[in-house]
A and B are shown apart, each in its own frame.
Chain A
Amino acid sequence: MMFRFKSRTYQQLSDEKLTIFISNGDVAAFNELYNRYNERILYYFYRMLWNDKELAQDFLQDLFMKIIDKLNTFNTDRKFSTWVFSIAHNMCKNEYRKRQIRALAALEPDVACDAFDDETAVYSALQIEDVFDCLNDLDELHRTAFLLKYREGLSIEAIGAVLDLPVGTVKSRLFYTRKKIQKDLIRKLQICQDC
């Protein structure tokens, strides 16, 4: 079955307005919302769920099913992106629980922030897989906060709303994640140089 829509007018609407159309049963509005979010959500799930393509696709479908069924619970005064990522985050959390993988890495209470003498080398060595290798050692809250901030460009307040955490906690998690990545990348770089 193929669906085709004239989505010219819908493209000008905000996400929140589209949700009003969708709750009134507007299929074309839903199509527009799907166009806007499917890549972002797929990326999020892919990176949060161990780079598993199939799982990311399944979760993407489940998330949009939830949007269809539970849209009446969305408050249009809030930002839609925050709501969607809250659902996505909760789905990931449930998946971790289900698999009993709570990758709570032994987080050091605080990182002594060494001066990174070789910072320029770190920037040039910054490869996406290296970043995610470092991120995989962290728990889902750190990963989510990091992705939402640097991939999605959400504000600290919005991330706090998604994760249901105070702003200060989000900041400290982001700080910790950044420092950990910096440290790990420098270590990797040194290992490579020794080789």
Chain B
Amino acid sequence: MDKFEKSISSTLQNDKLDFAANPAIRERLLYRMQLKTSQTVVHKNQFVPMFNRQFFATNVIWKIGVAAIILLSSIGYEHFIKTDGVIKVVDSTQSIGLTDSSTIQFNDTLNFN
């Protein structure tokens, strides 16, 4: 900026209007804002769109991917492996799973190894 530019810039920036914005303008604008906000429709308890998103064919690849990750990660999940009534006998050479029938609940399936 040369001298003249600086001078012009400071003159303009120091220039103040001898009037301000009418306060009624702010009130009208805020009222309008409130009206606009109140027109926004709030949808409560709308399950259909959620189910639609879940079961429609859109983004199938992503959905399959997520399902595959859940499935794969559940394979090694120990709670799904039935070990009720199986007592592990371990010695230095081998590990044998023995079934103790007294510890099996009646409705459990017997596993004989």
Contacts and interface: CB of A to CB of B under 8 A. Distances in A.
Query: What size tier do the contact residues of chain A reach?
Result: 35 or more
Contact of B25 (A25, A60, A69, A182): A60
A119 B3 contact: yes
Interface residues of B, number: 28
Contact of B33 (A27, A38, A53): A27
Nearest to B27: A1
B30 interface: yes
B17 A42 contact: yes
The dominant DSSP class at the B interface is: helix
Contact of A30 (B8, B19, B29): B29
Contacts of A126: 7-8, 11
A46 to B, nearest CB: 6
A182 B7 CA distance: 11
B17 A61 contact: no
A81 interface: no
B26 interface: yes
B3 A60 contact: no
Interface of A: 1-3, 22, 25, 27, 30-31, 34, 38-39, 42-43, 46, 53, 57, 60-61, 64-65, 68-69, 119, 122-123, 126-128, 131, 147, 150-151, 153, 178, 181-182
